[in-house]
């Protein structure tokens, strides 16, 4: 939900005339343009998109009506010249730039063109925080992505379960089945799909192997997502395709219970660090603390990993309208791993889980 007043206020606080944006997700958020270019947002509310002849017609079709499109030939020179004129009318002698995305070479090139007319000041990632509150339309896109991804992954899972010995579905082949299913829904992966089985499941972000055949009597971990109109989903389930031993059952229960305890604590005003601590303390209590090697979760929207980050060092507080994952995991090297991930939407009274696949059981039947 773009709040122009909030964006302008952040710029004024830094005593700047505007901000130069290059990150595609941020350009799309402000202008609805999905191509390549730069965007300038001024304290007066002007939105200027700079792009070249390859994208000018596309920009005219995609951009919001309040976006002015300027076709450029020499990017640094043309953009610096136009911004200098606009900034000169604002009374400020500085402009901000996305220092978390614009490269050092780009910075030097712009600084050279601005010369002593304007100071070029790093802005960090404050625009990413403005994007954290999702409006109804954004939430609808995210939930559409969730729905598409779940249909695609359930079909993939059924193909694994129903395959005969001669088919030999590998981790890589399973991931390709999932990708093809997404294409049939006019969607695409929101990140590189993770399908890991047996011992490979202990690698938190492992790559599917073309050589590793998925056993029908072992662990299967799937981390998957889809994209609709730029908005993404992210979800993970872990199942045992055979008869699990007591250790797997104990780890699964520890991870699932930790996740549910953390989700139950989500409400506006709660610190992200306390959510991480809730899950981490429980997993520690169950004896697996040193095997929970990452933070509890992250925001999802136009980026697959965006603010807020649900980790022990984040002292910021949960706000209504945020969307983020809760995904504790335990990874026993050489044995197996269990990660359970759901996306949560923050409402006034607490969290609403917006992913649909149930994780309370470790068997395939429990997911359906």
Domains with residue ranges and CATH for the chain: 4-130 (3.40.350.10), 136-367 (3.90.230.10)
Containing H/E element for 255? helix 246-265
The span from the CA of 317 to the CA of 308, in Å, is 9
The span from the CA of 312 to the CA of 76, in Å, is 41
The residue count for the chain: 368
Strand bridging mode 231-232 / 18-21: unpaired
Strand bridging mode 350-353 / 47-51: unpaired
Predicted confidence at residue 117, as pLDDT, reads: 82
| Four-residue CA torsion sign, 292, 247, 196, 272 | negative
The span from the CA of 77 to the CA of 58, in Å, is 23
Residue whose C-alpha is closest to residue 206's, from 214, 194, 219, 224: 194
Predicted confidence at residue 81, as pLDDT, reads: 93
Residue whose C-alpha is closest to residue 235's, from 316, 332, 152, 294: 152
Residue whose C-alpha is closest to residue 313's, from 360, 271, 269: 271
Other Cβ atoms less than 10 A from the Cβ of 282: the count is 21
* DSSP secondary structure code for residue 207 in this structure: P
Predicted confidence at residue 13, as pLDDT, reads: 86
The span from the CA of 361 to the CA of 368, in Å, is 10
The span from the CA of 337 to the CA of 259, in Å, is 15
Residue whose C-alpha is closest to residue 252's, from 334, 335, 179: 335
Predicted confidence at residue 96, as pLDDT, reads: 94
Q: Quick one: tokens of 136?
A: 């109804």
Residue whose C-alpha is closest to residue 75's, from 57, 96, 93, 102: 102
Ramachandran region of residue 176, left (φ > 0), alpha (ψ -120 to 50) or beta? alpha
Predicted confidence at residue 1, as pLDDT, reads: 62
Q: What is the pLDDT along the chain (368 residues), one digit of tens a residue?
A: 677 888 888 888 888 999 999 999 999 999 999 999 999 999 888 999 999 999 999 999 999 999 999 999 999 999 999 999 888 766 678 999 999 899 999 999 999 999 888 889 998 777 888 899 999 999 999 999 999 999 999 999 999 999 886 678 999 999 999 999 999 999 999 999 999 999 999 999 999 999 999 999 999 999 999 999 999 999 999 999 999 999 999 999 999 999 999 999 999 999 999 999 999 999 999 999 999 999 999 999 999 999 999 999 999 999 999 999 999 999 999 999 999 999 999 999 999 999 999 999 998 888 77
76 neighbors 95 (Cβ within 8 angstroms): no
Predicted confidence at residue 118, as pLDDT, reads: 86
What residue has token string 């896109």?
A: 141
Q: Report the interhelical angle of 136-162 vs 171-184 (nearest 10°).
A: 130
Q: Quick one: tokens of 342?
A: 């759901």
* DSSP secondary structure code for residue 23 in this structure: -
Q: Using CB atoms within 10 A of its CB, is residue 94 exposed (0-12), middle (13-18) or buried (19+)? A: middle
Q: pTM for this structure?
A: 0.94
262 neighbors 275 (Cβ within 8 angstroms): yes
The span from the CA of 161 to the CA of 164, in Å, is 9
The span from the CA of 351 to the CA of 355, in Å, is 12
The span from the CA of 30 to the CA of 49, in Å, is 10
Q: Quick one: tokens of 143?
A: 């939930």
Residue whose C-alpha is closest to residue 189's, from 180, 200, 201: 180
Bond before 308 cis per omega within 30 degrees: yes
């Amino acid at each position: 939900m773009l709040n122009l007043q909030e964006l302008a206020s952040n710029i004024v606080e830094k005593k700047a005339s505007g901000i130069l944006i290059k990150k595609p997700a941020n350009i799309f958020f402000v202008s609805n343009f999905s191509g390549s270019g730069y965007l300038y947002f001024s304290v007066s509310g002007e939105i200027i998109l700079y792009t070249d002849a390859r994208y000018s017609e596309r920009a005219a079709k995609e951009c919001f009506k309040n976006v002015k499109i300027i076709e450029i030939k020499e990017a640094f020179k043309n953009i610096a010249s136009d911004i200098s004129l606009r900034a000169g009318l604002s009374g400020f002698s500085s402009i901000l730039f996305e220092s978390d995305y614009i490269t050092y070479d780009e910075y030097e090139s712009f600084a050279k063109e601005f010369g002593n007319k304007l100071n070029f000041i790093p802005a960090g990632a404050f625009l990413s925080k403005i994007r954290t509150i999702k409006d109804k339309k954004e939430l609808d896109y995210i939930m559409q992505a969730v729905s598409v991804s779940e249909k695609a992954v359930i079909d993939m899972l059924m193909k694994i379960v129903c395959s005969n010995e001669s088919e030999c579905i590998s981790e890589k082949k399973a991931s390709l089945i999932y990708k093809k299913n997404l294409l049939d829904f006019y969607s695409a992966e929101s990140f590189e799909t993770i399908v890991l089985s047996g011992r490979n499941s202990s690698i938190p972000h492992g790559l599917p192997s073309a050589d590793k055949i998925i056993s029908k009597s072992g662990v299967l971990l799937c981390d998957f997502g889809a994209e609709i109109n730029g908005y993404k989903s992210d979800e993970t389930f872990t199942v045992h395709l055979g008869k699990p031993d007591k250790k797997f059952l104990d780890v699964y229960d520890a991870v699932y219970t930790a996740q549910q305890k953390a989700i139950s604590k989500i409400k506006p005003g709660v610190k992200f660090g306390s959510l991480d601590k809730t899950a981490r303390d429980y997993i520690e209590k169950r004896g697996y603390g040193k095997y929970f090697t990452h933070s509890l979760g992250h925001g999802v929207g136009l980026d697959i990993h965006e603010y807020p980050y649900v980790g022990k060092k984040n002292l910021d507080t949960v706000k209504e309208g945020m969307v983020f994952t809760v995904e504790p995991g335990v990874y026993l090297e050489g044995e197996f791993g269990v990660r359970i991930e759901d996306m949560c939407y923050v409402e006034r009274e607490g969290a609403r889980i917006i992913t649909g696949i149930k994780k309370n059981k470790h068997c395939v039947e429990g997911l359906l």
